[in-house]
A and B are shown apart, each in its own frame.
Chain A
Amino acid sequence: MTQYIYLTVLLPFLGFLVNGIFGSRIKNEKVIGIIGSGTIGLSFLIAAGAFIQTLGMPVDDRKTFVTLFNWIKVGGLNVNIAYQVDQLSLVMALIVTGVGFIIHVYSIGYMHGDKSFWRFFSYLNLFIFAMMNLILGDNFVLLFLGWEGVGLCSYLLIGFWYDRKFEKSTTADAAKKAFIVNRIGDFGFLLGMFLIFMTFGSLNFNEVFARAASFNVPVSVFNFIALFLFIGATGKSAQIPLYIWLPDAMAGPTPVSALIHAATMVTAGVYMVARCSIIFASAPSIMILIAIIGALTALFAASIGLVQNDIKKVLAYSTVSQLGYMFLALGVGAFTAGIFHVMTHAFFKALLFLGAGSVIHSMHDEQDIQHYGGLKKYMPRTAMTFLIAALAISGIPPLSGFFSKDDILWYAFANGSFLLWLIGAVTALLTAFYMFRLYFLTFEGKERFGHDKHPHESPGLMTIPLMVLAVLSAVGGFIGIPALFSGEGGNRFENWLEPVFKSANFKTAGYGIYSSFDEIALMLVTVIGAGLAIYFARYVYLRNPQFAVNTSKRFKGLYNLLLNKYFVDEFYDAAVVNPILKTSDNFLWRIADVKIIDGVVNGTASLIELISGRIRKMQTGVTQVYAVVMMLGIVIALFWVILSL
């Protein structure tokens, strides 16, 4: 089955083509939905088959390569369309196709009645195609192809309802913002790729990583490569300073937010860093930078999420925050912990978004949680699954989020520093708090919506995916039980991924050994803290809502700052966007384009006109004038004869 891994890439592409070309003519939504989801379902089955087959292989030899054809062969550059099946790509493939399939099925219900139903599914399939290229490719070029492809699909899908307004501008503006900010990151990624090619002479993963481990390359080169690659990751995975597009990306339909901006695209950066672990491990200072940025982003985004009133905005900032956790893990060398959190986060964040979509759908596109309240009565299944997801993200055992988040916090403490752990722990408390603020304000308490809204439970097509994800969020963590609890086997997930990061771990080895007592102690601290945060949220938002209002009034400045997202967008506008616009308008357009370029072109034409105007007066039409000119020629010829005498 591993030989057919390329089908997982090809099938979604076929789905894109079929739905894209014939979709507008197929009037039956069911058919479109089946085509769209079916391809992903098949891909998932193939990936699962490949997984089972790989399980049967010996531990050190779990890599399979499937080469389709030779793509680029120019000078020293040799790039194939080839896919590699190893432990890391299998994990990602299963997540992408599995969660992707669930979300596709959900979308059949959510997008029911939309006039561009077929376009939505073709874009979704295109997205999966690009994402699979990204995670299955065996060289940087194929990864970059997928990288750009998911950026494109993100743009297409965020701006799906292109005729709608969104906050102060339009959905098209939000889509553009996503694309452009991603592009800035991609520029860094490209520079990294160029440096890699220059240093190691190849862009194939295996060749590059083998050479990275053995060549004698100065650390500064590794630092630059790692830095550029990381800049690309900040763009794609929404870290400081390029996270600004993700909250605006909520302009798109909720399944898009679930699939792209929670489960898959944003984890592309994490995957890339994990894949290039050997490069990052050889650049310790950049690893520290990654950890710091990850931790800061986590805290920063969590603080903003505390006071947002749009349900999707809260979830968006939550995503940014959780991504920060993943980068924190990568930065301290815990690559497997980062990937583990990718998996659990995919489960519960997708569930959160889909649940939010269910609420929005039944409340007729109302997204302000101040107008929700008490919806548990009307949408029990949504409420239940949402609660499970909220518990998971808050790190309450034995749900999946507890295991992955705890893994990260432990490694932050052990491999990083106490400060990193502290930031992570505080963020965990904030996460629990704002998540349950969201839950309580939406599903519990007094009903704060008008009588024109009739909330109802969503159809089965939407609630069944919710329940599947809820199960996964609940039990998905058991695969990564830390060595502490699972006995001889050790952390199964970690063991599975170990061979991929072997050379990287070799370089980062040598961290302090801590006792299991420390591990348990830290675990307890975070769990108890999370529990307290939940209880506090319950107190504030359920028992004593006035408390929240008073607090916001008392700390008015801070509240304003958080509500306005620290004015980062405004700062970027003033510092970067507007100067560029002004320069472009005044200088590049008015002077460079109109005066200089047009001036040169028009000037050449008018110069020729001028010269020809003078010259054509020679054509008088009087024959004798021509004869005079001929005589002039004879004079010159005779002069020449005389001179040569």
Chain B
Amino acid sequence: MPVPIEYYLVLSAFMFITGVAGVLTRRNAIVVFMSVELMLNSANLTLVTFSSYLGNPIGQLFVFFVMTVAAAEAAVGLAIIIALFRNKLTMNIDEINILKW
């Protein structure tokens, strides 16, 4: 019996939640980024799942682009972290609170 689609979707949801919890909880900026990558991957999983179960390659095409964008975003985001680190010498994002009231 093939795997019911709900299992994949629940797994994807679980990974997403894990990523969200990581984003909200961790203080280290790099770990936050990695959590964001986790979230993106969960979305990829959902897309591929549906593409497979529908027999339509468009879902996987979309995953292709998501990966591209994730790569670009990771590069630029890490560059920003490096620049920030040079100025503030900290990687804890709750110390970067200039927009505080």
A interface residues (Cβ-Cβ under 8 A, vs B): 616-624, 627-628, 631
Contacts and interface: CB of A to CB of B under 8 A. Distances in A.
A233 B29 CA distance: 89
B88 interface: no
A99 to B, nearest CB: 78
Interface stretch (B57-65, B70-78, B93-101): B93-101
Nearest to A615: B101
A142 B23 CA distance: 81
A619 to B, nearest CB: 4
**Lowest 3 A-B CB distances belong to which pairs?**
A621-B97, A621-B100, A619-B101
B93 A620 contact: no
6 contacts: A619-B100, A620-B100, A621-B97, A622-B94, A622-B97, A624-B93
Contacts of A624: 23-25, 32, 93-94
A619 B94 contact: no
B81 interface: no
Given A618-B101, A620-B100, A624-B24, 20 more contacts: A617-B101, A619-B100, A619-B101, A620-B97, A621-B96, A621-B97, A621-B99, A621-B100, A621-B101, A622-B96, A622-B97, A622-B100, A623-B96, A624-B23, A624-B93, A624-B94, A627-B23, A627-B24, A631-B20, A631-B24
B13 to A, nearest CB: 11
B15 to A, nearest CB: 16
Interface string B84-98: 000000000110111
Nearest to B29: A623
Contact of B101 (A616, A623, A628, A631): A616
Contacts of B20: 631
A628 B32 CA distance: 14
Nearest to A622: B94
A618 B94 CA distance: 14
B97 to A, nearest CB: 3
A627 B23 CA distance: 8
Nearest to A628: B24
Interface residues of B, number: 13
A631 B20 CA distance: 9
A618 B100 CA distance: 9
Contacts of A631: 20, 24
A350 to B, nearest CB: 79
Nearest to A617: B101
Most buried by B among A616, A618, A624: A624
A628 B26 CA distance: 12
A621 B32 CA distance: 17
B18 to A, nearest CB: 13
Contacts of B94: 622, 624
A623 B24 CA distance: 9
Interface string B8-52: 000000000000100111000000100000000000000000000
Contacts of B97: 620-622
A358 B42 CA distance: 112
Contact of B99 (A617, A619, A627, A628): A619
A360 to B, nearest CB: 76
A222 B61 CA distance: 96
Nearest to A619: B101
Nearest to A616: B101
Contacts of B93: 622-624
A621 B98 contact: yes
A620 B98 CA distance: 9
Residue in B96, B97, B98 with the greatest tally of chain A CB atoms within 10 Å: B97
A625 to B, nearest CB: 8
A114 to B, nearest CB: 68
Contacts of B100: 619-622
B88 to A, nearest CB: 13
A618 to B, nearest CB: 8
Nearest to B26: A624
Nearest to B20: A631
A624 B32 CA distance: 10
A621 B101 CA distance: 7
Nearest to B98: A621
